[in-house]
Structure 1
Amino acid sequence: MRRITLNTFGPWAIITGASSGIGEEFARQLAASGLHLVLVARRLQALNTLGSELARTCGISYRAIELDLTADDALEKLSDATRDLNIGLVISNAGAMIPGDFLSLDYQALRRDLRLNVQAHLDLAYHFGSHLAQRGRGGLLLVASTTGFQGIPFAAEYAAAKAYVLSLGEALHVEFQRMGVHVTVLSPGATDTPLIAASGFDASTMPMKPMATRQCVSEGLAALAANRAVHIPGYFNRMLTALLPRSLATSMYGSMMRQVTAGRSVLSKGILQETQ
Structure 2
Amino acid sequence: MRYSIIILLAIGVLLLTYSLVCSFELRRFGSAGVECAFPDVIGNPAAVANIENIGIIFSYENNFSLKELGENFLEFAVPNKFLPFYTNFSLFGKPKYFQKTKGELLVGKRITENLLAGCGLGYGISSYPEGFETIKREDAKLGVQFSPVNFLTLGTKIEYISVDGEKSCPVKVGFMISPVNWLMVGCDIGWVSGADSPDFRVAERANIGEWLILRFGIASPPTRISFGGESGYRQMLFFWGYGFHPDLGSSYAAGIGVRLGKP
TM-based fold match above 0.5? no
TM-score, normalised by the number of residues in structure 2: 0.34
Comparing both structures, which one devotes a greater share of its residues to strand?
2
Higher relative contact order (CA 8 A, sep 6+): 1
Structure with higher helix content = 1
TM-score normalised by length of structure 1: 0.33
